[in-house]
A = this chain, B = another copy of it.
Amino acid sequence: MDIATVVGILSSFGLVAAAIAMGSGLELFINLPSLMIVVGGTLGATMINYPLKEVLGVFKIVQNALLVKTVGVRELITRFVELANKARREGILSLESEMEGLKDEFFQKGLQLSIDGLEPEQIREIMETELDFVRNRHQLGAEVFTTMGTFAPAMGMIGTLIGLVQMLQSMDDPSSIGPSMAVALLTTFYGSLLANIVCMPIAGKLRTRSKEETLAKEMTIQGVISLSKGENPRVLEQKLLAFLPVKQR
């Protein structure tokens, strides 16, 4: 779980909670029917929108995006240089024994293709097809969360309208008007919170993550192809460094 996400979630939710606590008890802001309408309604509209399998799959993607650390690009380069050195000394087949140590499936698969002796062009084609699927999956994830972030405030408004209509219909007791309206506004509050602190930032995170992962995977493709061509480890390093901004080289 990367630090920015932790800091972000803590500061957002923490500050909202702190601001509430300064003025009243937190329990004033908990209302089950409101929560049902916003969360349930948003999920419902999303489920009409996307196939069930994809909605469920999205949560897995989010979990990965928030918890799994991306492979550092520097480590990736170091790893490839080691492999290239070993391949130079002992032949490409010797990399077979290194497969175990790789945690990244995509890397593993590319290396396997290389050891199997496929042509560099075939390796590139196979790996880029897979990269496309990964990218599409991330884009779909960001899209689902953007959709949810659009439905959530609408559901909040629907809930508030329900509360207002009910309150306006029975205004016999003036003292109950305030609290009734407070409860009605909670739904808008939930909708706004769900959209702006949960859905939209996560959609942004998935887009950012997709860019990082695409970069790492493109470097992996380049590295595997260099390996399979038996290029000099220094040349391989230079080619991979070209993917990084100047200051990070």
Contacts and interface: CB of A to CB of B under 8 A. Distances in A.
Interface stretch (A42-50, A81-89, A114-122): A42-50
A4 interface: yes
Contact of A18 (B7, B36, B170, B193): B36
A107 interface: no
Given A154-B196, A196-B154, A242-B129, A47 B189 contact: no
Interface string A38-77: 0011011111111110010000000000000000000000
Majority SS of interface residues in chain A?
helix
Contacts of A41: 11-12, 15-16, 197
Interface stretch (A20-28, A95-103, A219-227, A231-239): A20-28
Nearest to A175: B171
B164 A168 contact: no
A185 B168 contact: yes
B181 A168 contact: yes
Copy tally for this chain in the complex stands at: 5
B9 A51 contact: no
A163 interface: yes
Contact of A44 (B15, B29, B37, B166): B15
Contact of A48 (B9, B23, B50, B150): B9
A130 interface: yes
B9 A44 contact: yes
A2 interface: yes
B29 A23 contact: no
Contacts of A7: 44, 47, 52
A130 to B, nearest CB: 6
B15 A36 contact: yes
B204 A166 contact: no
Residue of A43, A165, A192 ringed by the most chain B CB atoms within 10 A:
A165
Interface of A: 2-5, 7-13, 15-16, 18-20, 22-24, 28-29, 33-34, 36-37, 40-41, 43-52, 55, 129-130, 133, 137, 147, 150-151, 154-155, 157-159, 161-171, 175, 178-179, 181-182, 185-186, 188-189, 192-193, 195-197, 200-202, 204-205, 208, 212, 242, 245-246
Given A12-B44, A15-B37, A45-B197, 9 more contacts: A4-B47, A7-B52, A19-B37, A19-B159, A23-B163, A45-B201, A158-B193, A164-B185, A165-B182
